[in-house]
Amino acid sequence: MPQPRIRPSLFCWPLLAVLGTGTAAEPVPIDIDMPLRKVSEHVYYVAGAPGTATENKGFISNAAAIVTKDGIAIVDALGSPSLAQRFLDELRKVSAAPITTVIVTHYHADHIYGLQVFEDQGAEIIAPDGVQEYLDSPNAEERLEERRLSLDPWVNDDTRLVRPDRIIDAATELTLGEVTIDIRYLGPAHSDGDLAVLVRPDNVLISGDIIFEGRVPFTGSADTGRWLEVLESLDQTGVEALIPGHGPAARKPAEAVARTLDYLKYTREQMAAAVEEMTPFADAYDAADWSRFEKLPAFDAAHRRNAYGIYLSLEQEMLDE
């Protein structure tokens, strides 16, 4: 059974926390509300705001921590080193244990720019197969440059892209202290590679961005057909709470899964009908009834772009047949 690396011991942790590794400048302090929320005996999380990154100093996604007697595993690292440091400061209020592992559910900007804070603490970075495509693409550097402008000073010239230490492409189980971390490889869905994490015995599922709770999802260039398949086959047996990639934790996981599933399925159905009838996107969008989603946060910012991206992908699917 694979084991996470436990780098600094509990004995030497306070000294390392002060000295760091000397590999990066200290993150710029950020003034933002970030309460640490306890979900179960071992699982905590912070919840990003529902708006855009520029409206919320980059704090739009969730990050979780699995706290054990032998160390802490982080799931996702937030959208800037400043946010990651703030998250770490909040964790230090409940535990002085070392950060041993960071599990990245997918490589999107709002989940990865805080990685360097935890890498500099000595944590092992674990990510799903598929992230290499993003990291090796021009888009990775272009997005970082954009965020250095739009999220300055919290994302700046000292912010770097962090490559994972370990890539996984199959179900993987880690043991950390008294907890078992069941990493579920999902393949490409919301991104080029996605995974989810089940914490046992707490039975808390940390889903990453395959679930958006209480807001309109961001589909971007996602494979929404594959995303639907992932949600429809997601094993929720015994799950008592779900921490999504965005939005509040859900005590009724099946309902949270159903809401994201409904959004994707309905939007695809509307756009598929338009593509089949060769209806121009603007006409199809205006004719569709979006009332079930229009009061959700991020509807104005994300929904039309989502629908257009899905329309284009369905057009391509039809051409490829």
- The DSSP line for 61-80 is S-EEEEEETTEEEEE---SS
The residue count of the chain comes to 321
Give the amino acid at 67. Answer: V
Strand locations in the chain (E): 37-38, 43-46, 63-68, 71-75, 99-103, 124-128, 166-168, 172-176, 179-187, 194-200, 204-212, 241-246
Q: Tell me if residue 190 falls in helix, strand or coil.
A: coil
Residue 168 near residue 103 (C-beta atoms within 8 A): no
Question: Residue 96: what residue type?
Answer: A
pLDDT at residue 316, as a whole number: 87
117 in Cβ contact with 81 (< 8 Å): yes
**For position 24, what pLDDT does the model report?**
61
Strands 71-75 and 63-68: antiparallel
| Full-model pTM | 0.90
**What is the structure's pLDDT at 16?**
34
CATH number of 13-252: 3.60.15.10
The one-digit pLDDT tens for each residue of the chain (321 residues) are: 334 433 333 323 333 333 333 456 899 999 999 999 999 999 999 999 988 899 999 999 999 999 999 999 999 999 999 999 999 999 999 999 999 999 999 999 999 999 999 999 999 999 999 999 999 999 999 999 999 999 999 999 999 999 999 999 999 999 999 999 999 999 999 999 999 999 999 999 999 999 999 999 999 889 999 999 999 999 998 999 999 999 999 999 999 999 999 999 999 999 999 999 999 999 999 999 999 999 999 899 999 999 999 999 999 888 887
3-state secondary structure of 143: helix
Q: Give the pLDDT confidence score for residue 21 in this predicted structure.
A: 39
